[in-house]
Structure 1
Amino acid sequence: SGGAHNDDNWDAHTDMEANHNLHAAETDRPMAALIQDLQERGLLQDTLIVWGGEFGRQPTAEYAKGSGRDHNSYGFTVWMAGGGIKGGVSYGGTDELGSRAVDRECHVKHMHATILTLLGLSPEKLT
């Protein structure tokens, strides 16, 4: 279901473990450095970092013998730091399989609207 199905991006329809290990290794240190730099400059509290997309991955393999996962827009993680975000907090939860949100479901567009509103911008005027 879409994507290049290769290791050039996070679209892990085949070997999800290898794909995500590769990209996590490429992004973990730069993300940590960004947070550290903002913190050292006193800018982290005024900067909101949002790491995520519009979907996650299904909790089960995509193909009978596959190790990849198809897209899942019903239950996934968005990671935030700075901007007054309280660390170590999870908002909502998924069912026992991790396939869909069942506790405090929040659509990506509502999260974006909340962020824009807190920035003093009108989501309605920007769409």
Structure 2
Amino acid sequence: GGEFGRTPFREGRTAASKILGRDHYPDCFTIFLAGGGIKHGLTYGETDELGFSVVRDKVHVHDLQATILHLLGFDHERLVFRFQSRDFRLTDVHGQVVKDLLA
């Protein structure tokens, strides 16, 4: 897993192009988590039939970061750094621990 997935379809840059690929796609991606306080055997969230849009239990990357930090024993809301006279949190202002993932 990472901060983005790949488009669920192949694409080429031109009709004549023989180079096909999958572009960056931040709206849906898969990540595998195991051990460390994560529920075992759990599939969380759901996409549409194309894997293009989240239709149930969306987890933002800030939520994933908050959950992992929680499992490591950190309070993500207290992890703050100052930049240009402003405080920033790693998990931004939106990150929440996804309690349904916790064992």
TM-score (norm 1): 0.53
- Report how far residue 66 of structure 1 moved: 4.0
Distance 2:69 2:39 in 1: 18
Is 1:87 aligned with 2:36?
Answer: no
CA contact 2:7–2:52 (8 Å) conserved in 1: yes
Please tell me the residue identity of whatever aligns with 1:110: D
Is 1:53 aligned with 2:27?
Answer: no
Distance 1:68 1:107 in 2: 25
Query: Matched residue of 1:102: which SS?
Result: strand
Distance 1:77 1:57 in 2: 10
Please tell me the residue identity of whatever aligns with 2:48: D
Please tell me the residue identity of whatever aligns with 1:75: C
Q: Which sections of structure 1, spanning at least 5 residues, go unmatched?
A: 1-51
Question: Counterpart in 2 of 1:114?
Answer: 67
What is the Cα-based RMSD across aligned positions, in Å? 1.8
CA contact 2:8–2:50 (8 Å) conserved in 1: yes
Question: Counterpart in 1 of 2:86?
Answer: none
Distance 1:120 1:83 in 2: 11
Q: Which sections of structure 2, spanning at least 5 residues, go unmatched?
A: 80-88, 90-103
TM-score (norm 2): 0.63
Please tell me the residue identity of whatever aligns with 1:59: P
- Report how far residue 107 of structure 1 moved: 0.5
Please tell me the residue identity of whatever aligns with 1:58: T
Q: How many residues align?
A: 76
Given candidates 68, 77, 83, the residue that maps to 1:124 is 77
Higher helix share: 1
Query: Matched residue of 1:79: which SS?
Result: coil
Question: Counterpart in 1 of 2:100?
Answer: none
Query: Matched residue of 2:33: which SS?
Result: strand
Higher strand share: 2
